[in-house]
Structure 1
Amino acid sequence: MTSEDLNVSRETFAKLDAFVKLVQKWTAKINLISRQSEAELWERHILDSAQLFALAPPFETWVDLGSGGGFPGIVVSILAQEKSRDQRFVLVESDLRKGTFLRTAIRELGLNAKVISGRIEEIEPLNADVLSARALAELDVLLEFAERHLKSGGTALFPKGSLWETEHQKARMRWSYECDPIRSKTNPDAAILKIKDISRV
């Protein structure tokens, strides 16, 4: 993987590379990512996360739910530095060890981000312009989280695997929302669901 592949500056690529090394170091201790996906870290996690940043509308506050190993929260924070230093990122992670990892990454990489350690359904509403969640829950549950933490007029970006259409149909039974499914660049069967105007049926 090169800076040209990601269409970023060499400085940004160097930060992403530093983050990759942090993930590898900490995974040995706290299992941030699966062993089998370590070999594909750039493609499966970095590039997969980076495509969300390209789809985001203009924003001030981006909230990433269940940030885990920092995908996409840390990755989009790094990419934002190249464009604007005013955008803020909030990473929500209830696992204290992963929260410690995220805070370490934020400090070492000098990112404009903070970590909230708590349960998504219990913390104060975060009023996000953009809300993301990767590999966290079914769409039906994610929409509940979005109802709580996404500001009016905000956009949710939810990467989903090959069963995204099934989840979408199930969610329609409880929720009304505008959904633009965008084919994933890293998996032709997957999609990023760009969602707005969420309300209960």
Structure 2
Amino acid sequence: MSQTLLNGDLNVSRETLERLIKFEALFEQWSKRINLIAESTKGEVWQRHIEDSAQLLLIKPDMRHLIDIGSGGGFPGIVLACMLDDNKDSRVDLVESNRKKTAFLMAAKAQCARNANIHAKRIEDALSSLPTPQYVTARALAALPKLFELTHCHLSNGAVGLFHKGRGYREELEESHANWDFDLVIHRSRIDTESVILEIGNLKRK
């Protein structure tokens, strides 16, 4: 028997669904004590945050090794780790410098995402010491030019960026083109009609 996410388009095992439900409960518990997401979305954790993160596996079903930067409340990093946990070859590195959020991520790893590796460091310090993954993810972290500065060590070395962006993404792309060359695929969000996931490859500084 299997369960579904995203209106049935993403099939997951019962064990995976149980991990995600456990993560949601843990998130709700911790978010009462520390600020993990915007107050306005606290009543919509499953769709606005968990499913929004999970849709990356619809875009890249081959995903096995990723680095999530600025992981914060675990989106998308812990969600993806929960979904990849059955695969022994998977590796999910989460980078977060905030001590309270790191404590939450460690609790999430212990309870439902064993394949997650938590790096309690600044992004600039962590990325250079990690091996280049298949994908680098970031959600609600920084404008695209800043993301390029942070991740170019991997995106110029074969990794692909998957960055959640809102309605202002066109302006961020235009600003980025001033200093960077890159391949781009725009994926429309399954959760928010005004949002996209930007797929960035072959990043090169001009």
Instruction: Verify: 1:78 aligned to 2:82, yes or no.
Output: yes
| Distance in 1 (alpha carbons) for counterparts of 2:21 and 2:93 | 22
* Maintained 8 Å contact 1:128/1:150: no
The alpha carbon displacement at 1:19 in A equals: 0.2
| Distance in 2 (alpha carbons) for counterparts of 1:183 and 1:152 | 26
Instruction: Verify: 1:56 aligned to 2:71, yes or no.
Output: no
- Look up the equivalent residue of 1:177 and give its one-letter code: F
Q: Which residue of 1 aligns with 2:102?
A: 99
> Unaligned regions of 5+ residues in structure 2, if any?
none
- Identify which range, 142-151 or 46-55, moves more after superposition: 142-151
- Look up the equivalent residue of 1:29 and give its one-letter code: R
Instruction: Verify: 1:15 aligned to 2:15, yes or no.
Output: no
- Identify which range, 92-101 or 29-38, moves more after superposition: 29-38
Q: Which residue of 1 aligns with 2:71?
A: 67
Aligned Cα root-mean-square deviation (Å): 1.7
- The residue correspondences of 1:11-160 to structure 2 (distance < 5 A) are 11-56=15-60, 58-82=62-86, 84-125=87-128, 126=130, 127-150=132-155, 152-160=157-165
> Unaligned regions of 5+ residues in structure 1, if any?
none
| Distance in 2 (alpha carbons) for counterparts of 1:110 and 1:143 | 28
Structure 2 length-normalised TM = 0.91
* Maintained 8 Å contact 1:129/1:150: no
- Look up the equivalent residue of 2:143 and give its one-letter code: E
| Distance in 1 (alpha carbons) for counterparts of 2:115 and 2:17 | 17
Moved over 3 A (4+): 57-60
Q: Secondary structure at the match of 2:126?
A: coil
- Look up the equivalent residue of 1:168 and give its one-letter code: L
* Maintained 8 Å contact 1:56/1:130: no
